[in-house]
Amino acid sequence: MLPKSYDFKKSEKKWQKFWVKEKTFKFDPKSKKPIYSIDTPPPTVSGKMHLGHSFSYSQLDFVARFKRMRGFELFYPFGTDDNGLATIRMVEQEKGVKGTEMRRKEFIKLVLKTLKVVGPKYVKDWKKIGMSCDWSIYYTTINEHCRRISQKSFLDLYKAGKIYRKRTPFLWCPECQTSIAQVEMKDHERESKFVYMKFDTSVSKPITIATTRPELLPACVMIYVNPRDKRYKEFIGTKAKIPFSSREVDIKADESADPEFGSGAVYHCTFGDMDDVEWMEKYKIKPIEIMNKDGRLNEKAGKYKGMTAHRARNAIMEDLRKEGRIDKTEKITHVVNTHERCGTDIEILMTEQWFISYLDLKNKFLKAGKGMKWFPTYMRSRYDNWIKGLKWDWNISRQRHFGVPIPVWFCEKCGEILLPDEKDLPVDPTEDRPHKACKCGSRKFRGDPDVLDTWATSSLTPQIAAALFPKIYGRLYPMSMRPQAHDIITFWLFNTVVKSQMHSNLNPWNDIMISGWALDPKGKKMSKSKGNVIEPQEIIEKYGADPLRFWASGSKLGDDLPFQEKDLITGKKFSTKLWNASRFAMMHLKGYKPKRPRRFTEIDKWILSKLSNIIKVSTEFFDRYEYSKTKAETEKFFWHTFCDYYLEIVKDRLYNKGSYEKWEIDSVKYTLYYALLSILKLMSPITPHITEEVYQLYFRKSERDKSIHISKWPEFDNSLIDHKAEKVGDMAVDIIASVRKFKSENSISLAEPIKYVTIDSDQVKPVLREIQKTMRIENIKIGKAKGRETENFKIKLEIMK
């Protein structure tokens, strides 16, 4: 009945097709079942799925499949995140165009058209790992639906007074020519020079300032020394002259000047770092903006105009040297903030940006974090620490051509801000016109050319997905669970909480499931540049999706897991063992109609009781997202208790039915049927293909459910718990192991009989026949025995060949 071996290539493809065709995982909005909704992370369409994806999405899918079998109606969408830089690059490459040379509307159209072709190919990889989403609930974050929701979020927050526009110093990438967020910065350690520069002062001697950025000299607005620093007492209140200019700046006392750092005197430029911004605000200083958006110095830098920061640094140092203004230079290694995406040093520039005002809501967000269940719990501290360390409001505008447009017009005459009507969303203000005149009467407008930061949209995924079913929106949002990796807690997760709290005072989800990373075999992060990338597509080709998922289930939620090929082999062996055990059972259960007998033999009671325990703990583990423990317990039970012992013990009953009573046969058949079906179900979230194959080939006829994945999760049955039988069965196993050992020590094959075994324990009386038949013992009895002791129960045995 079951073919001799399991053909994973054929099987996996077959069932993936079957699930789609039969709509096995289709969400039914009319269902009366409680809904379990998942805020599936939308990956960015670029290249192909990487191992980390296959790792974390598998873990998410374990939970989804478990919940479905537990009786929930799954709302399990799939979207892609396509309004950022990666998408621009992908489409430009694919189509041979330049986004900035096209009208934005046209480029968005082209993106959507390209995604229609590229998207399904990309998503295929997710289907191949066996994800059980409802693929028809699909969105891309640049489509009309998402643009509308994202722009509506902007309008709502603006109207609530939570969005403001301000010209302010902010993090700027001169390479990408856009503002960036705090989270997009990456620390980069670099060698640099600490330059000690001498400035003339209004007292007789010069003051020495140490800096790594001498090129900002033309933007120096103040000099600070610590009031307790004796070296500089006489300078406080005097003035210093800026070299190569006629400007003079005040020398002030400020506690934040560190006497131990450099020369102890610091110069305040606009802007070298965020301290400079704080000082500017503290002393109400007007900044000198010497840098343009492309990172070059402007006319305010005098003769250094047109130079990049790097070139200006060398030129200024040269000039300082000529005038004898350099005391010394020191080589140092320091940490520089760079743009994560392009590696360019971040500057701080005054630009006009949109902000969501939220620094005043820190406590609300901290409280929100406590209101959700985090799995694993310790991950919440990352969220808390991030909030505590927040320094700036959320800058949501980006100076990019492509993205969700900021839905705002400015009146050319009076500068008034005009917003579109909600019913007209989505709009592109650089092309669409407002329907009304400004209150000054003018009809001349300038559309905001900026776009929203991609996180301003992806922070709305729960609302985006739920809004696809407007009639039951309230049942889908807030969602049951957000799964995601730990590295984006500070932005995707946090920003989603921000939006949800600001819009509706609700948490976006009840539970948060945080997965770790897949690492290379040495425990290092995989990256293309390191050349240590392992591709899941190759693994699936070679081993199949089930072993890949089996591997992904080996790590505790939240933990990183080094990739080991041997884990795939273990997964593969598990599949083979499961197949063979099923094949054996099917052979003996041909035509069997499952009916629970009134009476069970002791050994059947033993396995049923053990199985019930496994079902109980597996369910509890899964409820806490601890799929790795469910898998470990079930695997151990299946491999050792069920295959190594139970199947061996019942062989005689199954092969020699005639020498047993009917109730004993009824007992073994039911037990075998029930135990195997339960094992398949327990493993089905982890290895969905092989379990479906066995289910369809044998169990479906009697169980009736169209798929194992929509069948009922095994229920804990207290009436099957039998502590006495468990002990007796374990003793039998202990004795069998001992006799096996005896046979192997004496080079007797398992099939060969042995003469005598005397067991010094009358507790095993009910399973004596099983021990005898399993080990082919000609004479077995209970009585005083001299000889070896069993390992666990220390039962004395006397064995004769």
Task: Give the Å distances, CA to CA, from 678 to 577, 616, 635, 637, 730.
Answer: 16, 12, 12, 11, 21
Count of beta carbons in the 10 Å neighbourhood of residue 530: 10
Q: Smallest gap, in angstroms, from Cβ of residue 187 to Zn ion?
A: 15
Segment lying near Zn ion (by CB under 5 A), choices 331-339, 571-579, 676-684, 766-774: 331-339
Span 508-567, contacts to Zn ion by CB under 5 A: none
- When the beta carbons of 8 and 410 are compared against Zn ion, the nearer one is 410
Segment lying near Zn ion (by CB under 5 A), choices 207-215, 329-337, 438-446, 562-570: 438-446
Task: Candidates 160, 332, 437, 440: give the one binding Zn ion (CB under 5 A).
Answer: 440
505 φ/ψ angles, rounded to the nearest 5 degrees: 55, 25
- When the beta carbons of 342 and 533 are compared against Zn ion, the nearer one is 342
d(CA 23, CA 136): 10
- R_g (Cα) of the chain, nearest Å: 35
Segment lying near Zn ion (by CB under 5 A), choices 78-86, 208-216, 430-438, 769-777: 430-438
Q: Smallest gap, in angstroms, from Cβ of residue 341 to Zn ion?
A: 5
Given a contact cutoff of 8 angstroms between Cβ atoms, the answer to whether 56 and 515 are in contact is yes
- When the beta carbons of 346 and 686 are compared against Zn ion, the nearer one is 346
Span 173-202, contacts to Zn ion by CB under 5 A: 173, 175-176
- When the beta carbons of 27 and 271 are compared against Zn ion, the nearer one is 271
Given a contact cutoff of 8 angstroms between Cβ atoms, the answer to whether 500 and 478 are in contact is yes
Q: Smallest gap, in angstroms, from Cβ of residue 184 to Zn ion?
A: 8
- When the beta carbons of 434 and 478 are compared against Zn ion, the nearer one is 434
Q: Smallest gap, in angstroms, from Cβ of residue 404 to Zn ion?
A: 20
* 3-state helix vs strand vs coil in the chain, percent to 5: 45, 20, 35
- When the beta carbons of 34 and 343 are compared against Zn ion, the nearer one is 343
- When the beta carbons of 445 and 600 are compared against Zn ion, the nearer one is 445
Q: Interface with Zn ion includes 437 (CB under 5 A)?
A: no
- When the beta carbons of 42 and 295 are compared against Zn ion, the nearer one is 295
Q: Smallest gap, in angstroms, from Cβ of residue 437 to Zn ion?
A: 8
Q: Interface with Zn ion includes 442 (CB under 5 A)?
A: yes
- When the beta carbons of 175 and 703 are compared against Zn ion, the nearer one is 175
d(CA 179, CA 173): 6
Span 388-427, contacts to Zn ion by CB under 5 A: 411, 413-414, 416
Q: Interface with Zn ion includes 647 (CB under 5 A)?
A: no
Task: Candidates 91, 115, 438, 603: give the one binding Zn ion (CB under 5 A).
Answer: 438
Q: Smallest gap, in angstroms, from Cβ of residue 181 to Zn ion?
A: 12
Q: Smallest gap, in angstroms, from Cβ of residue 86 to Zn ion?
A: 13
Sheet (strand 479-485) strand order: 373-375, 509-515, 479-485
Sheet (strand 178-179) strand order: 178-179, 163-173, 347-356, 394-395
Span 157-176, contacts to Zn ion by CB under 5 A: 173, 175-176
- When the beta carbons of 1 and 414 are compared against Zn ion, the nearer one is 414
- When the beta carbons of 440 and 569 are compared against Zn ion, the nearer one is 440
Q: Smallest gap, in angstroms, from Cβ of residue 192 to Zn ion?
A: 20
Span 589-628, contacts to Zn ion by CB under 5 A: none
d(CA 79, CA 81): 7
- When the beta carbons of 129 and 411 are compared against Zn ion, the nearer one is 411
d(CA 665, CA 682): 26
Given a contact cutoff of 8 angstroms between Cβ atoms, the answer to whether 544 and 692 are in contact is no
Q: Which of 4, 603, 102 is nearest to 611 (CA)?
A: 603
Size of site (CB under 5 A) for Zn ion: 13
Q: Smallest gap, in angstroms, from Cβ of residue 153 to Zn ion?
A: 26
d(CA 343, CA 492): 21
User: What's the angle, vertex CA 14, arms to CA 9 and CA 20, rounded to 5?
Assistant: 135
Count of beta carbons in the 10 Å neighbourhood of residue 516: 20
Total residue count of the chain as it appears in this document: 801
What H or E segment, with its residue span, contains residue 692?
Answer: helix 688-694
Q: Smallest gap, in angstroms, from Cβ of residue 46 to Zn ion?
A: 17
| Residues whose CB is less than 8 angstroms from the CB of residue 49 and which lie 6 or more positions away in sequence, other chains included | 43, 122, 125, 126, 129, 536, 537
Given a contact cutoff of 8 angstroms between Cβ atoms, the answer to whether 62 and 686 are in contact is yes
- When the beta carbons of 160 and 342 are compared against Zn ion, the nearer one is 342
Q: State the sign of the Cα–Cα–Cα–Cα dihedral 283, 284, 288, 292.
A: positive
> What residues form DSSP beta bridges with 266?
224
Q: Three-state DSSP class for 721?
A: coil
Q: Smallest gap, in angstroms, from Cβ of residue 340 to Zn ion?
A: 8
639 φ/ψ angles, rounded to the nearest 5 degrees: -70, -50
One-letter amino acid of 762 = D
d(CA 164, CA 423): 23
Omega before 478 within 30 of 0, i.e. cis: yes
Q: Smallest gap, in angstroms, from Cβ of residue 31 to Zn ion?
A: 47
Q: Smallest gap, in angstroms, from Cβ of residue 443 to Zn ion?
A: 9
- When the beta carbons of 33 and 443 are compared against Zn ion, the nearer one is 443
- When the beta carbons of 339 and 549 are compared against Zn ion, the nearer one is 339
d(CA 654, CA 667): 11
Span 141-160, contacts to Zn ion by CB under 5 A: none
Q: Smallest gap, in angstroms, from Cβ of residue 191 to Zn ion?
A: 22
Site string for Zn ion, 332-361 (x = CB under 5 A): -------x--x-x-----------------
Segment lying near Zn ion (by CB under 5 A), choices 13-21, 434-442, 595-603, 647-655: 434-442
d(CA 549, CA 59): 8
Q: Smallest gap, in angstroms, from Cβ of residue 436 to Zn ion?
A: 11
Give the relative orientation of helices 627-636 and 662-683 as an angle to the nearest 10 degrees: 150
| Residue ranges binding Zn ion (CB under 5 A) | 173, 175-176, 339, 342, 344, 411, 413-414, 416, 438, 440, 442
